[in-house]
Structure 1
Amino acid sequence: MMRWIIPFILAATAAHASEDIADKYPGSLLYNKQFEVIPGVFSAIGATAPPTYENAGHNNNLSFIVTGEGVVVVNGGAAYGLAKALHEEIRAVTDEEVKLVFNENGQGHAVLGNNYWAEQGVPIVAHVDAAEVVAQYGGTILEDMKGYNKDRAEGTEVQGPTETFEDEYIVEMGDFRIEARYLGPAHSPGDIVIWLPEQSLVISGDMAFHERLLPIFADTYTADWLETWDNEFEPLGATYVIPGHGHPTNMAQVRRFTRDYLVYLRGKIGAHLEAGGGLADAYYVDQSPYARLDTFDELATKNAGRVFEQMEFE
């Protein structure tokens, strides 16, 4: 099984993903054509840049599992047309019908394609907290997407999940046992992972990053994320990781650029606080070890400021 993923890990290392490439799959709204990561598990790797018209909002990973008895999709996509484009890729791979869609969280690139899948009669599953995000902020998320996607937003409407869960949602289908798990607070409300225990593969969603700098939002509590990582995510012992953004890789790589980054930044901010530093200077603590990551310029100072505001009251 290792032979399937190793070429892609090496390719990702040798030719680091670049946020400067506008579109790598001009014949489709998808940013990248899907490929088979391990037998039966496919992923279309999104841009490591912010969402733009050129990448059609495909700046996260859209994955699917061909089980032998149906297809399970992970992420609804950032727009109706993007979900449709993914479905066309699925049909090119298999005659099996899509039986289920998971939303990895309540962010636009996970949920705004839901109404396409709902039109196909496919159940859509998400964590209760992600469903609440869609219910409360779906209209704003949609308008933001229309702002950059223009005509590529056509047909998109707010559609929440049709089913929700709190702790786990387990599917036995064909050759796969598919475990959707809520491990605890992480990057955003309702983050889940899709764990395939028999394949030792986790589709981590935004629990794990590596080729682009992770963003820390106003509702991202880094101490909780680290606790969830150490107590729940790392103990999975996954051999293969399909992260929320970037190429498939392994646990050591996402640990380095997710957990270790959070520990590093909290350490820098902690030292800054101990020295009596304020918010204005906190934005500029040294994050140079991570400067080569995509979206560093967009996110590093924001991340530092938000961690300062959190740790000031911890």
Structure 2
Amino acid sequence: MIRFVLPLMALCTTSVHANENIADQYPGSALYSAPVEFIPGVFSAIGATAPPTYENSGHNNNLSFIVTGEGVVVINGGGAYVLAEALHEEIKARTDQPVILVVNENGQGHAMLGNSYWAEQGVPIIAHEDAAAEFEDRGFRILEAMQVLNKEKAEGTYLQGPTETFSDEYIVELGEYRIEVRYLGPSHSSGDVVVWLPKQDLVIAGDIAFHERMLPLFEDTYTLDWLETWDTEFEALNATYVIPGHGHPTNMDQVRLYTKGYLEYLRGKIGEHIEAGGGLADAYYVDQSRYAHLDTFEELATKNAGRVYEQMEFE
């Protein structure tokens, strides 16, 4: 198994490098931050650990790419045409290899709205069939919300789903890279996938794994299913290196702490609340203070508690 020495930024396990109060770390680009080479050939432009804003152009997730020697594979279309175009400029500044594939990690706007740019470049775009269905169903609302947020920076963005879908896995071998795009099971949102590089012992985890910011729970995020997928499939990868969907590249211990650990902790607190006869109104305020240092805590903690209560009430 190939091992690499990680840069200082990647080894950091605190939130010192991620601060939701920093509006933009890369003023010369629409991207929130410039791509950094995490291990040889694998780059990621780390998004803001904050909600999408006009200042960060909606770049609040990680946009990654792999320079394989036989072409570049991009992971995430980006949250707008302008972000995909900016990422492509960064890729062209680092290699002459063309982009030959785009992977959408799920059906959310930050994964798919930039497909409009990549489709114009003639690049194939793949996604899980459930993510494609989600984007087809909700795409108009997602696009409209981005247009309100990004104003003139929304120009050029239109609804473009993947050009190809899969159900279980999509595998390509390019240069020294075996790239396995895998659906591991239900997790954060419909059709979430990971990109597993077994030779490099690295997983681009998408929204299955969070770091440095609090994860959000949607109405259709079933925490018990997410935990089962984590325990039975994600842990089985035994990855040394993790590029999460949000937050800086890190390791399994950190994403386990802030994803699986948080879900188990919140479910435990809500379970105690239900056992004591508590209702929904008070469930919003169960103690989550041990996670108060995470970015987006103020925006998400109470909402998450309410959604977990609504699920566990009927489990």
What's 1:271 paired with?
A: 272
Contact 1:16 1:211 (8 Å CA) reproduced: no
Q: 5 Å matches for 1:128-143?
A: 128-143=129-144
TM-score normalised over the length of structure 1: 0.98
The number of aligned residues is: 314
* 1:6 to partner: Cα distance: 4.2
Q: Per the alignment, in what secondary structure is the counterpart of residue 257 of structure 2?
A: helix
Contact 1:5 1:248 (8 Å CA) reproduced: no
Contact 1:215 1:299 (8 Å CA) reproduced: yes
Contact 1:127 1:191 (8 Å CA) reproduced: yes
What's 1:155 paired with?
A: 156
Contact 2:242 2:249 (8 Å CA) reproduced: yes
Contact 1:4 1:37 (8 Å CA) reproduced: no
* 1:175 to partner: Cα distance: 1.5
What's 1:54 paired with?
A: 55
Q: Aligned partners of 1:268 and 1:135: how far apart in 2?
A: 36
What's 1:37 paired with?
A: 38
Q: Aligned partners of 1:243 and 1:304: how far apart in 2?
A: 23
* 1:10 to partner: Cα distance: 3.9
Q: Aligned partners of 2:304 and 2:17: how far apart in 1?
A: 23
* 1:14 to partner: Cα distance: 7.0
Q: Deviations over 1:87-128 (max 9, x none)?
A: 000000100000000000000000000010000000000000
* 1:15 to partner: Cα distance: 2.1
Q: Per the alignment, in what secondary structure is the counterpart of residue 257 of structure 1?
A: helix
Q: Deviations over 1:60-94 (max 9, x none)?
A: 00000000000000000000011000000000010
Q: Does 1:190 align with 2:187?
A: no
Q: Aligned partners of 2:196 and 2:31: how far apart in 1?
A: 24
Output the aligned Cα RMSD: 1.0
What's 1:290 paired with?
A: 291
Identity of matched residues, %: 73
Q: Aligned partners of 1:282 and 1:243: how far apart in 2?
A: 29
* 1:5 to partner: Cα distance: 2.0
Q: Deviations over 1:3-39 (max 9, x none)?
A: 5424113446372410000000000000000010000
Q: 5 Å matches for 1:107-118?
A: 107-118=108-119
What's 1:215 paired with?
A: 216
Which amino acid counterpart does residue 195 of structure 1 have in structure 2?
Answer: W
Q: Per the alignment, in what secondary structure is the counterpart of residue 206 of structure 1?
A: strand
Q: Aligned partners of 1:131 and 1:231: how far apart in 2?
A: 25
Q: Does 1:94 align with 2:95?
A: yes
* 1:2 to partner: Cα distance: 5.7
Which amino acid counterpart does residue 72 of structure 1 have in structure 2?
Answer: V
What's 1:18 paired with?
A: 19
Q: 5 Å matches for 1:71-90?
A: 71-90=72-91
Q: Which runs of 5+ in 2 are unaligned?
A: none
Q: Does 1:67 align with 2:61?
A: no
Which amino acid counterpart does residue 87 of structure 1 have in structure 2?
Answer: H
Q: Aligned partners of 1:120 and 1:50: how far apart in 2?
A: 29
Q: Per the alignment, in what secondary structure is the counterpart of residue 210 of structure 2?
A: coil
The 3 A distance-change label for structure 1 pair 181 and 83 is: same
Q: Deviations over 1:155-176 (max 9, x none)?
A: 0000000000000000111111
Q: Deviations over 1:220-263 (max 9, x none)?
A: 00000000000000110000000000100000000000001000
Q: Aligned partners of 1:14 and 1:185: how far apart in 2?
A: 28
Q: Deviations over 1:162-207 (max 9, x none)?
A: 0000000001111110000000000000000000000000000000
Contact 2:13 2:254 (8 Å CA) reproduced: no
What's 2:250 paired with?
A: 249
What's 1:281 paired with?
A: 282
Q: Aligned partners of 2:228 and 2:269: how far apart in 1?
A: 19
Q: Aligned partners of 1:95 and 1:80: how far apart in 2?
A: 22
Q: Which is worse superposed, 12-21 or 102-111? A: 12-21
What's 2:171 paired with?
A: 170
Q: Per the alignment, in what secondary structure is the counterpart of residue 244 of structure 1?
A: strand
Q: Aligned partners of 1:155 and 1:266: how far apart in 2?
A: 42
Contact 2:74 2:99 (8 Å CA) reproduced: yes
Q: Per the alignment, in what secondary structure is the counterpart of residue 278 of structure 2?
A: coil
TM-score normalised over the length of structure 2: 0.98
Contact 2:15 2:294 (8 Å CA) reproduced: no
* 1:134 to partner: Cα distance: 1.1
Q: Aligned partners of 2:19 and 2:48: how far apart in 1?
A: 8
Q: Which runs of 5+ in 1 are unaligned?
A: none
